[in-house]
Amino acid sequence: MTRRVRLGAMAAAAALALSACSASGATTTPATPAPGTAGPATAGPATQAPASPVAASAAGQSCEVTTGAKGIAAQIRDFGFPSGLTVKAGESITWTNADGAPHTVTFDDGSCSSAIGGGATVTVTYTVAGTYPFHCEVHPRMKGTLVVGG
């Protein structure tokens, strides 16, 4: 890995760690679509997640952090995502980060991103049907696909 890439990865990890330490909870916020592109369908207002060692936020409106809900279990382990993830629109996934390092579940189209601290759990409800390739912003080699049915 080049020195610049390493520095960028370290900066991203530090930013995630700082956000996890400074946040009293987590919020979801809408994304601004790129010029000339249509944004995702409108979801409800931002919600507050329970205070925990989790820093989670939605960059778009394809998902929202869900307070007090339990969803389909998905464990991030050994710097890898589970395969074959499928939910119906409006259903949730409870992401558990079994690694010590922070990870994100970030849709490649930017419509949803959840940061999950090492050892933490967050439940995210997926609201817009589609097939969403995703990755970890901190560890770009980590990739997966989520299918949200209609």
The beta strands (E) that lie in 8-91 are given as 63-65, 72-76, 85-88
Given CATH 2.60.40.420, say whether it is the number of domain 3-27+43-149.
Answer: yes
Per-residue pLDDT of the chain (150 residues; tens, 9 = 90+): 455 544 455 455 444 443 433 332 333 333 333 334 333 333 333 333 333 334 444 455 789 988 778 899 999 999 999 999 999 999 999 999 999 999 999 999 999 999 999 999 999 999 999 999 999 999 999 999 999 998
DSSP string, 95-112: EEE-SSS-EEEEETTSS-
Q: What spatial distance separates the first Cα and last Cα of the chain, rounded to whole Å? A: 41
Q: Report d(CA 90, CA 145) in Å as an integer.
A: 17
**100 torsion bin: left (phi>0), alpha (psi -120 to 50), beta (else):** alpha
Q: Report d(CA 94, CA 74) in Å as an integer.
A: 6
For the entire predicted model, the pTM comes to 0.63
Tokens 């700082």 sit on residue: 18
Are residues 91 and 119 in contact, defined by beta-carbon separation less than 8 angstroms? no
